[in-house]
Amino acid sequence: MSLSRCTIFTRVANFCRKVLLREEDVPAETKDQNLMTIIPRDKHNISRKDISENALKVLYRLNKAGFEAYLVGGGVRDLLLGKKPKDFDITTNATPEQMRKLFRNCRLVGRRFRLAHVMFGPEVIEVATFRGHHASEAAADNEHDRNQSQRGQNGMLLRDNIFGSIEDDAQRRDLTINSLYYSVADFTVRDYVGGLQDLQQGVIRLIGDPETRYREDPVRMLRVVRFAAKLNMTIAAETAEPVTRLSSLLTDIPSARLFEESLKLLQTGYGEQTYGLLMQYQLFQPLFPTITQYLTAQGDSPMERMIIQVLKNTDRRIHNDMRVNPAFLFAAMLWYPQSERAQQIAQESGLPWYEAFALAMNDTLDEACRAIAIPKRITSLIRDIWSLQLRLPRRHGKRAWKLMEHPKFRAAYDLLLLRAETENSSELERLGQWWGEFQSAPPVRQSAMINSLGSDPHQRRRHNRSRRRQPSARNN
């Protein structure tokens, strides 16, 4: 179907206006591309033998098909630091649709950020197309533009599928140390934003204007803190300055995403250091408002000591390649807010302690889940760990053996030991010692330990009541 001259002229005019506006909107620092540094193979320590074979397959196939392709992000950063990367990410000028045609084992994911996942059994190689700069609101005047890029009223990026060059992509990344590109074509490392110097000096620096970048995605504030703790680096002054002012923006982030971020912050081996930085920059409150209301000026309450200790224990287990469970971490962190709430309900309503305790579990978890959407599979385990705290003192009869059969007994026992340590409670210490000995004792010794407890203080007294005689048939 032919188009009128007027329609063609309008489309050409709109296109020219968008190009001109986009050129004006490019940040000043991106217009000078002379800052690019190419580090040859003999000047860096990255070797292909340290890179995943599957990542190399993707890079080679993209290059063979005529596309640019680079290893980028944390993989390059960790290799330069002499560490083993957790995963390998790739960036290319191939679009997601071209990726899907090139790799049969590829699937496209994400709406806000369109990505290609190339599947090699359990290993997933994430491939992103070079990101470009965003057109102004005036330029985004049709439905196609809104589908590619969209911002909220607060500046947050709702969609970000604008593609560009590698130079654009380097400026669109968050941290300078994550904006280093390794090429398998010539084995060089490309640095467009001074990331190598920051890596050598141990500086966490945001690319571009920090406040604008934080408003685009407030989770970047959490990433800055996480990498500073993980890599033991300092945060650049201009990167740190807006964080406290903008920390409340995290409340605009979906709670499910914040849950995933909370695990990255607290369960990757550097939780204790990360907790200190979260408190320093007032980022802890949006994640854990339930806990924040019980914090003290001195930071030495049982709850705060419990948080620090459980994070230390978690870090130690991760560094020793031991399993960690987020249910136990959250059960420990939220134990004292839950206990305070139970006491409040019991005093105000006059309910028995067990009923007040159950209601407090609901209230505490509901409030916590509004900030970070803790999945139900985890909250159910938290409830088990908490409920067992009330059952651990009751060891008479067959109860002790039954408690040990509970799937979360070990986690409940560990929480008991944490409580004894943080509260300096001799009663809890004796209870923890008893259970520690009971678990390893032979059956004969276990029976003797139970018999030595004496009578059960919780045993209900049974009163002999004469049964009311039923009228006989003769009396009817």
Rounded Cα gap, residues 417 and 428, in angstroms = 8
53 vs 2, residue with greater confidence: 53
pLDDT at 139 over 60: no
User: Between β-strands 115-120 and 106-109, what pairing exists: parallel, antiparallel or unpaired?
Assistant: antiparallel
Sign of the Cα torsion 9, 14, 15, 17 reads: positive
Q: Cβ(406)–Cβ(388) under 8 Å?
A: yes
Q: What single-letter amino acid sits at 9?
A: F
Name the pLDDT band for 168 (thresholds 50, 70, 90).
very high
CA distances from 174 to 219, 250, 335, 349, 361 (A): 11, 17, 36, 51, 39
Mean of all residue pLDDT scores within the chain: 86
Contacts of 465 (CB under 8 A, 6+ apart): none
Name the pLDDT band for 62 (thresholds 50, 70, 90).
very high
Contacts of 77 (CB under 8 A, 6+ apart): 177, 178, 180, 199
List the one residue out of 371, 264, 376, 256 whose CA is nearest residue 324: 264
Q: What single-letter amino acid sits at 138?
A: A
pLDDT at 158 over 50: no
What per-residue confidence (pLDDT) applies to 337?
96
What per-residue confidence (pLDDT) applies to 1?
42
The whole-number average pLDDT for the span 327-332 is 97
170-195 pLDDT tens trace: 999 999 999 999 999 999 999 999 99
What per-residue confidence (pLDDT) applies to 132?
81
pTM (two decimals): 0.81
In the chain, pLDDT over 90 holds for what percent of residues? 77
Q: 326-333 and 376-391 are packed helices; what angle lies between their axes, rounded to 10 degrees?
A: 60
Rounded Cα gap, residues 275 and 60, in angstroms = 41
234-289 pLDDT tens trace: 999 999 999 999 999 999 999 999 999 999 999 999 999 999 999 999 999 999 99
28-40 pLDDT tens trace: 444 444 468 999 9
Rounded Cα gap, residues 44 and 79, in angstroms = 10
Name the pLDDT band for 4 (thresholds 50, 70, 90).
very low
Measured at the CA of 393, the angle between CA 391 and CA 396, to 5 degrees, comes to 90
Q: What DSSP assignment string belongs to 324-337?
A: --HHHHHHHHTHHH
CA distances from 232 to 162, 244, 250, 286, 463 (A): 34, 20, 24, 24, 67
The whole-number average pLDDT for the span 50-62 is 96
Strands (E), 383-453: none
CA distances from 19 to 9, 139, 157 (A): 16, 9, 21
What per-residue confidence (pLDDT) applies to 19?
47
Distance of CA 343 to the CA centre of its chain: 31
418-444 pLDDT tens trace: 999 999 999 999 999 999 999 999 999
What per-residue confidence (pLDDT) applies to 25?
47
List the one residue out of 101, 98, 85 whose CA is nearest residue 46: 85
Residue given tokens 């968008």 in the structure block: 18
Contacts of 456 (CB under 8 A, 6+ apart): 394, 396, 397
List the one residue out of 160, 144, 142, 143 whose CA is nearest residue 152: 160
What per-residue confidence (pLDDT) applies to 146?
43
Sign of the Cα torsion 430, 431, 435, 438 reads: positive
Name the pLDDT band for 380 (thresholds 50, 70, 90).
very high
Rounded Cα gap, residues 177 and 199, in angstroms = 6
456 vs 171, residue with greater confidence: 171
Q: Under the phi-then-psi rule, with left for phi > 0, alpha for psi from -120 to 50, and beta for the rest, what region is 155?
A: left
pLDDT at 2 over 50: no
Q: Cβ(298)–Cβ(337) under 8 Å?
A: no
What per-residue confidence (pLDDT) applies to 36?
87
pLDDT at 344 over 50: yes
Distance of CA 357 to the CA centre of its chain: 29
Q: How many CA atoms lie within 13 A of 289 on its CB side?
A: 16
Rounded Cα gap, residues 274 and 265, in angstroms = 6
What per-residue confidence (pLDDT) applies to 156?
54
Helix (H) or strand (E) holding 109: strand 106-109
Residue 378 φ then ψ, to 5°? -90, -40
Residue given tokens 């890179």 in the structure block: 51
- Structure token digits, residue 442: 């032979």
203-232 pLDDT tens trace: 999 999 999 999 999 999 999 999 999 999
Residue 61 φ then ψ, to 5°? -65, -40
Buried b (16+ CB within 10 A) or exposed e, 68-89: bbbbbbbbbbbbbeeeebeebb
301-315 pLDDT tens trace: 999 999 999 999 999
CA distances from 371 to 177, 291, 394 (A): 30, 11, 35
Catalytic center residues: 87, 89, 174
